[in-house]
Each structure stands twice: as structure tokens, then as C-alpha cells.
Structure 1
Amino acid sequence: MTHIPAFAGAGNLIYRSSHVPQFVKAAGCYLQAADGRRYLDAEAANGTAAFGYDSSLLREALSHCEEMPGLPSFCESPLRLDVLSRLEPLFSQAVGQPGRVELDLGGAQGMETALRIAFSNNGPGTIVVFEGAFHGRSGITSMLSSSPRYRELLAAWGLEVVRLPTPDCDRCVHRQPDVPGCTTGCRQAVTRWGAELSGVGGTGFGRKVSAFVFESVQNVGGMAVPDADLLRSAVAHAKANGALVIADEIFTGMHRTGPRWGFQRAGVSPDIVVASKALTNGAAALSAVWAREPLADPGTYRPGSHSSTYIGIPHSLGVARAVLDRWAAWPEVEADMRVLEEAMAHRLDTLRRRHPELILGTDAFGGTARIVLNGPHAPELRRLCLTAHESLGLIVASTGMAPDVINIHPPLVITPSDLDVMIEVLEAALTALAPTVDGGQR
């Protein structure tokens, strides 16, 4: 086990590995550690650093707020209004309805704000999510997240949460090997709630479902993409029963999976959208919650329903404005994401064919990809990616909910030569892993 300084809390993810680089510099898609070793970031701080590491972004951000470095959260500013006015169309153009934007800090806080808006309209009630979901680790959002580990230390036990069967066809117990996608039975399984025998109230019942929450890609659940027909069925059923549909776009938002929002892949229209990671490129804490009219209208969602100390801080708003400028200046981003998807898919498939004893499959969608291993070897492979190559390290992700999957989501500006480096390091890590694996199947 790595040495953890006596003054440092050990509860976060930093110290889960015995190899803990201390990063001192960053440029492009690379991080540099204190010992001089360089690491290609194929995790991009779990999706936040869409534009990679560019210090000019901070200089641009400070130019927007140098006259007013701090501001109480209950005070308005032209900078905040500018950011809100630029954010709102990014959502409403995709959904096809106007709405309003509320700001918060991290993703979990944004999810809780979304629930406040849902409850202010529907009243507190049941929340429906999918198996394999991850929506945060706070007291409220840990109840929505699937892993029981998230509720061991803090949980809002009074919240009623119902989990629909997994939308991941690879892990579905009803999967038919010769039938691609979900079956009719799968689609029926996610639309059974609301009936007398289901245990979950719908229209005609006093205790209703207030919200249905989904991710268009289950990042922590193993980079699983819900079957589009299944997701559309679940959304339609929720709306028919009066539940508000909340799209968790914290990870998938702003072209991470190709289109601006992940929900566009399946052709669904949520009522509320939560975005975060790609809004500030990892340089400030900020999330945005969009709700279609009139859900966040002051007549329903009254002023004072929500407050957060730093949602008006000019530094974060300046970063958001600078990042929004970058997005607006990227003219063919969706086409570029298709090129990136194809480039990753081709390289990873070649890697799979070279290591069939370890890799069951690979997928790529937009600026995101995954490697599915033949067993729970992802944590060890992730560690080997840091150390196995003689001169370079590679940062990838794995999760406890899917220990057989390596998650890959590099900066969206990654180059073909950078992708070649990624494959080179993965090759070294897989070669080092092979002698330790007995070939057991997943």
C-alpha cells in the first residue's frame, strides 16, 4: 500500500493505488509528474478536460472577472446573466422547448437541484432509476447510485428509489445471444411500474413517481450504452405516468459521446437536464441544471428554494464563459467526434485481435471508448498502464461496479499520434498483465 501522508485524508480515489504520481505540469493531452515522467491522459479527469490542458484558458477566464474576484451567491452580475443566457439555448435547441438554467457546484449538487425542481412540481415521491446507475456519492445521490458501497457511510434513507432492470444488454439476464439489442420482454420490464401489482404508483395513485433519472451512457456502470428502444420506452412510460424525466449529462454532455447531449443518441426529450464536467474543462466547480418551462418558473420553483455559496463566484463564471467561447469556436465538432470515434474503434479492435485471451470486446462512441476484459482485471490493468511502459504512463479509468471494463475518455482534442501512444502503452500493460491471468471467462 502506498504511503499516505499523516495530514492527508484517504477517503478519496487518489490513494486507491500503490503508484501515486504527483503532477506538477500539464500541456495538451499530457501530464508531467514531479519525477519528470509523462502520462498521456486517456481519462481526461473523468471527462472534464475536453480541451486538454491549456493554461491560456485560465488567462481568458481571469480577464472576465479581474475587476470583481468574489461575489456573494445571492448577488446578481452581468457575467452570471451572460453565462446563463448562453447556456440555455444549448439545452432548449436540443429538446425543442424553452427553459431556465439554475447553477450549482459539482455533479451531485446539480442532481439534487434537479430533484428539488421535480419535487416542487410533482411533490416528493418515488424516484425511478436503472440498475448500474451512478448519480453521485452525496446523501441523496448515493440513494440513486446502484452500488451499496455508496450508502454505507451516508444515505438519505427516507427517499424511495426503485431500480429498473439494467439497460446494459451485455449484462442482462434476458439476453438472447443471437438477438441484437433488447427484446420485447426487456422493454416491457421497464414499463411495468405504475400498475397495481408493481408496488410503484403511477397515474391514479396518491403516491406517485416524481422523477425518472437516466444516463445516456452508464460511465461508472462499465461504459454501457442503453438500448435506444429500451430508453425510449422507459421515457415514454415515465411521462405517461406524470413523472418528470431527468437526463444526467454530467459525464456525457457537450459532445463526449458525439452529439451535444447524450440523450440525443436515443432521440428522447427530457424535462430536466443536469450538465457539469465539460462546462469548465476541470478548471472550476460548476454545474448547470436546465428545466423546461414552466418547471423552474418562480411561481412554482420559488426564489429561496435553492442556495449554494459559490454559484455566483466570478472566477467560476469566467471559466465557464471562456470554455463556452471554445465550444462556440469549434465549427464541426460533431463531425470531428465521428472521426475520433472511428480512430479509437479501429485502434482498439486491432489491440483486441492481438490479445484475444484478455480482451472480449471493444467499443467506441464519440470521444468515449471501453475495453471489456475476460475477467475482473481492470484495476490491475489500470495500474500497469501507469508503470509498464519504460518511458510513458497512461491514465485510464476502472470502477468497482464494472471491474472487467477499462474506461477510456481522452481530451476531445487528442491527435492520431497521441492515440498511437495510448495503444503503445496499453500493449505494454496487457503484455505485463497476461502472465497473471489464468484465462477464466467473465
Structure 2
Amino acid sequence: MSVLFPTYARWEVAVKEGKGTTIIDVNGKSYLDFTSGIAVCNLGHCHEKVNQALKDQVDKVWHVSNLFQIEAQERVASILTEYSSGEYVFFCNSGAEANEAAIKLARKHTGKYKILSFQQSFHGRTLGSMSATGQDKVHQGFGPLLQDFKYLPYNDLDAVKDAITDEIAAVMIEVIQGEGGVRIGNEDFIKGVASLCEEHGVLLIVDEVQTGIGRTGKPFGYQHYGISPDIICVAKGLGNGFPVGGIIGKGHLKEAFSPGSHGSTFGGNFLAMAAAEATINEIFNPTFLAEVEEKGNYFKDLLAEKLKNVPSVQSIQGKGLMIGVTFDQEVAPMLKDLRDNGLLALVAGPNVLRLVPPLIVTKEEIEKAVELIVEQCEKL
């Protein structure tokens, strides 16, 4: 009998160890991991350089609080701003915290409170980030949410034109909706939203919690669209599994986050910064990112070729190594069969098989995964 709150529909797999793209359970069974801890372990499990950075730090100091100067924060922040449109960074511990910080910063800077987000979006499960999330199933049972959030149809620029006014503080958007079904923002839509924000003096917040840190083949997913967000929210892949998140903001927002306006006891601690610095130094290498894009295209093309005659497959979509296969039926039963055969995958909504392997995955491992997926499709 578990003494844990039953907040998770847990799988029957208990993990003992992991290395690279492989997980081994307590019974010694090996799995090819195409979940990456839900798009977190972008360098795979127990990456040598990340592990060593943590080992080097763990015997020095873990935590002193943000009352102190922490040089590693400056180094990591400098890398994040170098590879993004931002100039200042705030560190926290998770994606939900990053989105909370972004909401607070937008409201504080503008003095306005209305925020537009999108149907089927997902921004977290804290009260503020849940309020920004455009999914009723996430809201149910928690009573009144934060006021002044409005959820618009995704990829519908006319809906944004009708809703955006000078009274809006910010538009909050994912350039690819991860939990919402691996839905890709159309180029005209994303660019149009950015232009409308600039025209009306509205802040543009891009939630890069899942798409950031190399997942799409660029440092951040918004860079596929040539836009320049005011606030970028990051987490998941930033620490390769060590809890760390943050927001990257433009210079004109600096004064809104003055001393006492926001904080995080554990945010940016020495261990988190050690993991983050080692992770982004590996991933932000142009050669590494080019390989991610190449492997992502190979993966999608191979899926398209092998599944073209499967009637239940409706579409294959994604960028880089963030891929969704949409079926005309629920895919949860398929996940269990895939696990039984040694492949770990995710859902994104009831009908979408979500595939987010570590960015170090090989083409041979991609081919093995596709082979196992094809076998399951033949049983549908």
C-alpha cells in the first residue's frame, strides 16, 4: 500500500539505473527511452560531463541562498542571453515556476492584468500557470482561477486580432503545443502574433519549457520563426534532469523585477547551475544542434514511410526530436504494449503518440523504435 498521494497514473516500471538512451528496471529489463523524463534528459541519462560537474560541485557547497553572489549564475545567464533575444535572467526550479515568474513580470511591468493564451496550451499546475493553461481538464475541481486570462484558438490569427487591445499585458504562447498534441504553430500565425504584440505594446511570452534547450534543433523553438520574444520561459532540458528553470527577459523589463519583487529560495543554487552550465555548453554547440535537426528529419521521414499504409494514422508532425503521431483512436493501450516490448513513449492528448528521445539518440535507435511502433500499428 503506497503512502503517496495518487496524483500520478504510474506505469508498472520501477527504474534501477539509466545510461544514455537506455533505462534498466529493477528486474533487469532494458528499455529504449523515448520519453527523456518528459523531454528533460536531452543529453540522455547519466551524461558524463553533467555528472562530473555535479560531482565536482557536491563536495564544495550546495546552497547559501540568493543573498549571496553566485558566480555560476552569471555564467549560465550569460550563455542563455547570448543564445536568445533576452538580456536578463531569473532562476527558479521548474517550468511552472518559470511561467509564474513570467506572468508576474508581465503584470508588474505593464501595470495591466489581462493575458491571452491558447486553447490546448499547457503552462503548469500551480494556480497562476494553471490559469494560463487552456485545458478544462487541468482546471476541474480547483474552484475560481486567476482572473483575466482568455483562451484563443491556436493557429487562428484573426482570433488574436479580435482579442488583442492596449489593455492586454501579454500574450503567452508555445510555438509547439507539447501536452496539447504536438501542434506546431504556423509561421504566419507565430509571426503575426509577434507583430500584433509589437503594434499594441503587448509583451510576448514564449513558453519554451518543452521546446527549449535544443529539443527542436535550435537553442529555442521560437528561433525557427525569426521572432524576438520579450520573455522566454525555460526548464526541463536546462539541467538534464536536475531541477532548474528560469526566465530570460529583455532589458526594458529589468526595473520591474527590483529587489523584493520576486524570489526563489533554491533557485539558481550551486548544484543546479553546475548541471545547467555543463548541459548547455554541450547542447548549444552548432554541430550538435545541426545533428538534432538532421536526426529529427530522418525520424519523421522514416515514420511517414513506414506508417503510410496504416489507416488509423492521421498525421505525423513535429520539429527536431519533438514528434507526434496522431491516430484516429486512443493510444494509451499502445503505450503499454510498447513498454512490454522495450520502448518507452508518451501521449499528448488521447490520440497522439509523443516521441521525445534524448538528443544523443542514434539513427540505429530511431530505426529500432520505428520498427516497434510499426509492429504495434499492425495490431490496431
- TM over 0.5, yes or no? yes
The answer to whether structure 1 residue 9 and structure 2 residue 17 are counterparts is: no
Paired letter, 2:247: V
- Quickly say closer, same or farther: Cα 1:315–1:157, change in 2 above 3 A: same
Paired letter, 1:38: S
Partner residue, 1:193: 163
Deviating beyond 4 angstroms after TM superposition, the runs of 4 or more aligned structure 1 residues are none
Distance in 2 of aligned mates of 1:361 and 1:86: 36
Partner residue, 1:344: 299
Partner residue, 2:129: 141
Partner residue, 1:45: 37
Paired letter, 2:265: T
| Alpha-carbon contact 1:114-1:289 (below 8 Å) kept | yes
Q: How many residues align?
A: 379
Q: Structure 2, unaligned stretches of length 5 or more?
A: none
Superposition pairs for residues 89-168 of structure 1, below 5 Å?
Answer: 89-91=82-84, 95=85, 99-154=87-142, 157-167=145-155
- Quickly say closer, same or farther: Cα 1:120–1:368, change in 2 above 3 A: same
Superposition pairs for residues 269-308 of structure 1, below 5 Å?
Answer: 269-282=228-241, 284-297=242-255, 300-308=256-264
Distance in 2 of aligned mates of 1:156 and 1:315: 37
| Alpha-carbon contact 2:214-2:283 (below 8 Å) kept | no
Partner residue, 1:386: 339
Paired letter, 1:429: Q
Partner SS, residue 254 of structure 1: coil
Superposition pairs for residues 389-428 of structure 1, below 5 Å?
Answer: 389=341, 393-399=342-348, 402-428=349-375
Distance in 2 of aligned mates of 1:193 and 1:62: 50
Partner SS, residue 192 of structure 1: helix
TM-score between the two structures when normalised by the length of structure 2: 0.94
Distance in 1 of aligned mates of 2:333 and 2:75: 46
| Alpha-carbon contact 1:43-1:396 (below 8 Å) kept | yes
Distance in 2 of aligned mates of 1:6 and 1:352: 40
Q: Following TM superposition, by how much is the alpha carbon of 1:337 offset from its aligned partner in structure 2, in angstroms?
A: 2.2
Partner SS, residue 294 of structure 1: helix
1:377-410 Cα offsets, whole Å, 9 max, x none, are 22121222112x3xxx1111113xx211111111
| Alpha-carbon contact 1:371-1:405 (below 8 Å) kept | yes
Q: Following TM superposition, by how much is the alpha carbon of 1:64 offset from its aligned partner in structure 2, in angstroms?
A: 3.6
Q: State the structure with more CA Rg.
A: 1
Q: Following TM superposition, by how much is the alpha carbon of 1:429 offset from its aligned partner in structure 2, in angstroms?
A: 2.4
Paired letter, 1:426: I
| Alpha-carbon contact 2:300-2:317 (below 8 Å) kept | yes
RMSD of aligned residue pairs (Cα, Å): 1.8
The answer to whether structure 1 residue 79 and structure 2 residue 72 are counterparts is: yes
Distance in 2 of aligned mates of 1:358 and 1:106: 36
| Alpha-carbon contact 1:29-1:53 (below 8 Å) kept | yes
Paired letter, 1:163: Y
Q: Following TM superposition, by how much is the alpha carbon of 1:309 offset from its aligned partner in structure 2, in angstroms?
A: 1.6
Partner residue, 2:317: 363
Distance in 2 of aligned mates of 1:404 and 1:83: 38
| Alpha-carbon contact 1:61-1:322 (below 8 Å) kept | no
Distance in 2 of aligned mates of 1:381 and 1:316: 36
- Quickly say closer, same or farther: Cα 1:338–1:312, change in 2 above 3 A: closer
Distance in 1 of aligned mates of 2:99 and 2:316: 30
The answer to whether structure 1 residue 334 and structure 2 residue 334 are counterparts is: no
Deviates more, 1:149-158 or 1:420-429: 149-158
TM-score between the two structures when normalised by the length of structure 1: 0.82
1:201-238 Cα offsets, whole Å, 9 max, x none, are x23xxxx1111000010001110001110121122112
Partner residue, 1:311: 267
Distance in 2 of aligned mates of 1:296 and 1:80: 17
| Alpha-carbon contact 2:296-2:319 (below 8 Å) kept | yes
Q: Following TM superposition, by how much is the alpha carbon of 1:156 offset from its aligned partner in structure 2, in angstroms?
A: 5.8
Q: Structure 1, unaligned stretches of length 5 or more?
A: 168-185, 195-201, 435-442
Distance in 2 of aligned mates of 1:360 and 1:312: 43
